[in-house]
Chain A
Amino acid sequence: MHVQTMHIPDGFINGPVSLVAMVIAALGIVICLRGARKQLDERTAPMAGLVAVFIFAMQMLNFPVAAGTSGHLLGGALAAILVGPYAGALAVSVVILVQGLLFADGGLSAIGLNIINMGLVTAVVGWFVFRWTIRAIGVSKPKVFFAAFLAGLIAVPVSSLAFVLEYAIGGTGTIGWPTVMVAMTGVHILIGIGEGLITALTVAAVFLARPDLVYGVRDLLPKQVLVVEPAKGVA
């Protein structure tokens, strides 16, 4: 069994809340567009596009757990750590938008809800958890691993809490939101452990090979200065 990302379908959350979510998601995307443009200027489109493809590909990568079950990454925290919160949230939101519009994954009326939960919330939470942790403990491979693990671990259950909030306000189901919260949080803490491990292993791999490509630590790395010295002993 492969545990798939759960995109909310149409009708699960009522109309008014779905509409409000679309407005909030649109605002969030506009903020991310501005932030990403400030960071990447005219490189934004190709760079964020390629990061979106990377996240899309990561979601197809199977991580076997045990006894025939496997899971995959959501990617919000990973994207935020690697390319920054704005470009990261933007990339994951574009993935969800394309999945909803082109592949019929998740309801079209629920696209705002899905973008908030899986794109914006995971990226923002993942980013802040990573930054606070790394600033507190410093930069080295095990520390980057630990901070990235925490980011993935916390981002996923918080994202499920965003879903519970939407369900509590506009859910059409008759199961009470406290029950849904207990079930969702429980399951998502387990999923979060997986997400945290995959995020940490991937970030650590990038950090070892190209630390300058890990946006979350770039400003904390020792400055590398190119010094050109006159050749010695050359006639």
Chain B
Amino acid sequence: MPSPHTHGHDVGERLLVHRHTAIHRLPAEVKTVAMVSFILIVVFTPPEQFWAFGVYALMLAAVARAALIPAKIILPRMLVEVPFVLFAVLMPFFGTGDTVEVFGITMYTAGLLAAWNILIKGTLGVVASILLAATTPARDLLLGLERLRVPTLLVQIAAFMLRYMHVVTDEMGRMKLARDARGFTATGIRSWPVIAQSAGALFIRSYERGERVHLAMLSRGYTGRLPRLDNAVTLRSDWVKSMMLPAGALIVAVTATVVQP
């Protein structure tokens, strides 16, 4: 298995795991459509059909395996769910209706099912998003959105955000270093004016940087459109390969809905 490495990719990639696999090579827009459809199908699946979610999990595991993304990369990222997990965990204990004893603790059946629904769909959704972001460079994802007819201006704004993310966060880091060098320690609300002063300065610097970037672009002939440098062609076979995932999920979901217990 090749070790993770990066070469010459854009900044702003927090999740990309650089590997050379068939899944990494698929065009971004194809993968985006496939993953979003897959997640929507999962969300529409009735929660009492437990087997269906087992099949979905196996499908994602197969994708992760084919893309050589190990579990140790996926698991830590799932922490973003935690606040909603807490909400879900509370539900079986507060509710009405039928109750059931689990390990000697009384819980509400409807609450248990709702908790399961949120936990399993949230988890499958996070894993699917992680797989998309881990196999697709940020720049390609944006170009893919453009090919999906997302307004060019929106894609350009997102592209500028990615391009300047490190410039601005680094600037923020230098301002923090400067505060620290002057003996400042943030202790509580009393230190907010100092931090907000830096935030205000950061806004002015970001805004002025935007103006300078615009002028620099104008001097290079910018007319409101960025030149398209990619001439990648998306093959029909790419679509067929990618849509196998949501198509399989759709069969599972339809079956689960039709044969409801």
Contacts and interface: CB of A to CB of B under 8 A. Distances in A.
The judgment on whether A and B are partners is yes
Interface of A: 4, 6-12, 14-15, 18-19, 29-30, 33, 37, 41-54, 56-58, 60-66, 82-83, 90-91, 94-95, 97-98, 100-110, 172-175, 197-198, 201-206, 209-210, 213
A48 B157 contact: yes
Given A82-B203, A175-B94, A102 B12 contact: yes
Given A11-B120, A30-B151, A173-B88, 8 more contacts: A7-B80, A11-B122, A45-B160, A101-B129, A109-B39, A202-B196, A202-B200, A206-B200
Contacts of B94: 175
B203 A15 contact: no
B117 interface: yes
B161 to A, nearest CB: 4
A75 to B, nearest CB: 10
Contact of B91 (A53, A62, A64, A174): A174
A82 B173 CA distance: 22
Given A10-B124, A12-B122, A37-B153, A61 B199 contact: yes
B133 A101 contact: yes
Interface stretch (B17-25, B163-171, B234-242, B243-251): B163-171
B254 to A, nearest CB: 14
8 contacts: A10-B126, A11-B121, A44-B153, A49-B160, A61-B199, A102-B138, A109-B39, A173-B118
Contacts of A95: 161
Main secondary structure of the interface of B (DSSP, over half): helix
B45 to A, nearest CB: 9
A147 B80 CA distance: 33
Contact of A102 (B39, B141, B168, B201): B141
Contacts of A110: 125
A136 B70 CA distance: 58
B129 A11 contact: no
Contact of A33 (B87, B151, B214): B151
Nearest to B145: A101
A101 B150 CA distance: 14
A18 B203 contact: no
A49 B226 CA distance: 14
A44 B193 CA distance: 31
A105 B126 CA distance: 8
A47 B133 contact: no
B57 interface: no
B250 to A, nearest CB: 13
B161 A52 contact: yes
B129 A100 contact: yes
Contact of A57 (B168, B196, B200, B214): B168
Contacts of A206: 200, 203-204
Contacts of A63: 186, 192, 195
B51 interface: no
Contact of B168 (A48, A53, A108, A202): A53
A4 B151 contact: no
Interface in B184-229: 186-189, 191-193, 195-197, 199-204, 206-207, 209-211, 213-214, 217, 222-224, 226
A47 B83 contact: no
B130 interface: yes
B157 A205 contact: no
Contacts of A213: 203-204, 207
A98 B158 contact: yes
Interface stretch (B1-9, B59-67, B106-114): B106-114
Contacts of A197: 189, 192
A47 B211 contact: yes
Contact of B40 (A18, A49, A50, A98): A18
A175 B157 CA distance: 39
